[in-house]
Structures are given as structure tokens and as C-alpha cells.
């Protein structure tokens, strides 16, 4: 069994915050892979399903970001999971908006949700880091993460959520690089058509169709 945790803050006022991109990703995973409905448990909301034969428990802690580890620890202990059975999806300031990186272990790098999880289950869990960009000034970080994504970002955010959900089976199999490559391909904008060397429309064939 795998525990997939999306980080965010509860309540409609936070739903579209940059800090809630982990919640958004889990919602899309549940929708894309036809999980059961969310229900309240472990100080959070959980939904269960299967992805390529692996039982997956999706969790959105409702303890607020700074105490996310409490919900994660409860779910992990109840299901007798180890920390390496846990995957946490979260916002990442130090990545360009829309970029995805995967790592196992390491420090919280200033992320209070990760800091709380580290305190409850240790650091040996997988982190799916979703870039939200940095405002460029440390004094603006708090406001940046708690602001909604602007309208101009809605298209790429939706596309990224869909890509993460679609590529998740690759990550569940343990292929971190394959997962990141798949997300990159799925979120890459389409290439513009090559211009005609003559500068006009492509030539039209006048040959009669063969019988």
C-alpha cells in the first residue's frame, strides 16, 4: 500500500492558494484514477483506490500546513506503513513555476508542512516538488504562497495537475526520472508549425488520385 499525501490548508478561502497545489494534485489523482469518495479520517480527508494493481490511500490533512505530520503519522501507523511507503506532494518555492522534481529524504528547506512530517515520521519519504516560483524577496514569500494563482496561471496549473495524475503509475513503479520526463512531455507546449520555405502556403498537389 502507498500513502499519497497532498499538502495544503483547509477551507474554501485557501482552495486556490499556491500553497495548496498539493491538495489540487491529490484531487486530480482521485478523479483521474476513479478512487472512492473522500471521507473524514486521520484528521484529514482520505480516498482509496488502485493504480496498476497497487492499493493507494490519498490523504489531504485538515490540520493546517504547520501540523500536517499529525495526520500523516496517524494514517501511516494505522496501516502499518513505513516512511518509504509515503509520498508527499507539495509546493516548492525554489523551482520555476510548473517545474517538477522528485527526491527522497533531505531537509524541509523552510517548508513548514515538510518540517511537521519530518518530526512525526522521519525523513525517509518521497517528495514530489511542484514549482510555484519565488517572488524574489524573502519578505514577500508568506504572501506569495498564500495568494491564489492568478488567472493567467490557471491553464498551466490545470495541465500540470493532469500530467502528475497521468504519470503517477510510473512513479509508483519507482521510476522517478521516467515520471519527471513524462510530466515534462505532457506539459510541454505544442511546437509551432514549420514555416513554408517559400513563405506562402504549402504546395497543393494537382496530381489525379490513383484508382
Of 19, 90, 111, 144, the active-site residue reads 19
The confidence band for 73, taking pLDDT boundaries of 50, 70 and 90, is: very high
With a cut of 60, say whether residue 178 has pLDDT above it.
Answer: yes
The confidence band for 194, taking pLDDT boundaries of 50, 70 and 90, is: confident
Distances (CA, A) of 160 to 1, 15, 28, 100, 180: 25, 17, 10, 9, 11
Digit-coded pLDDT (tens) for 131-151: 999 998 888 999 999 999 999
19 is catalytic: yes
Q: What domains are defined for the chain?
A: 2-187 (3.40.50.1470)
The model scores a pTM over 0.85? yes
> Looking at residue 206, what is its pLDDT?
52
Per-state percent for the chain, helix, strand, coil, to nearest 5: 40, 20, 40
The residue with greater pLDDT, 207 or 61, is 61
The confidence band for 205, taking pLDDT boundaries of 50, 70 and 90, is: low
Name the grid cell of 4: 499519497
The confidence band for 211, taking pLDDT boundaries of 50, 70 and 90, is: very low
Looking at the chain, the whole-number percentage of residues with pLDDT higher than 70 is 92
> Looking at residue 154, what is its pLDDT?
94
In angstroms, the first-to-last Cα distance of the chain is 59
The residue with greater pLDDT, 160 or 193, is 160
Averaged pLDDT, 46-61: 97
Digit-coded pLDDT (tens) for 91-113: 999 999 999 999 999 989 889 99
User: How does the average pLDDT of the chain come out, rounded?
Assistant: 92
> Looking at residue 109, what is its pLDDT?
85
Amino acid at each position: 500500500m502507498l500513502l499519497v499525501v497532498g499538502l495544503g490548508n483547509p477551507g474554501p478561502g485557501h482552495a486556490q492558494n499556491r500553497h495548496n497545489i498539493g491538495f489540487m494534485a491529490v484531487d486530480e489523482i482521485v478523479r483521474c484514477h476513479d478512487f472512492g469518495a473522500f471521507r473524514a479520517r486521520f484528521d484529514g480527508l482520505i480516498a482509496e483506490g488502485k493504480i496498476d494493481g497497487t492499493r493507494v490511500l490519498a490523504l489531504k490533512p485538515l490540520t493546517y500546513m504547520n501540523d500536517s505530520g499529525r495526520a500523516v503519522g496517524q494514517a501511516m501507523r494505522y496501516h502499518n506503513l513505513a516512511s518509504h511507503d509515503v509520498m508527499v506532494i507539495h509546493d516548492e518555492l525554489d523551482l520555476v513555476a510548473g517545474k517538477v522534481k522528485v527526491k527522497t529524504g533531505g531537509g524541509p528547506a523552510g517548508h513548514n508542512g515538510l518540517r511537521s512530517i519530518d518530526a512525526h515520521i522521519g525523513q525517509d519519504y518521497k517528495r514530489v516538488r511542484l514549482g510555484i516560483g519565488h517572488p524574489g524577496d524573502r519578505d514577500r514569500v508568506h504572501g506569495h504562497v498564500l495568494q491564489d494563482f492568478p488567472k493567467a496561471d490557471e491553464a498551466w496549473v490545470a495541465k500540470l495537475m493532469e500530467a502528475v495524475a497521468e504519470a503517477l503509475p510510473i512513479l509508483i513503479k519507482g521510476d522517478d526520472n521516467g515520471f519527471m520526463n513524462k510530466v515534462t512531455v505532457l506539459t510541454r507546449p505544442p511546437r509551432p508549425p514549420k514555416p513554408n520555405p517559400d513563405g506562402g502556403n504549402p504546395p497543393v498537389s494537382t496530381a489525379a488520385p490513383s484508382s
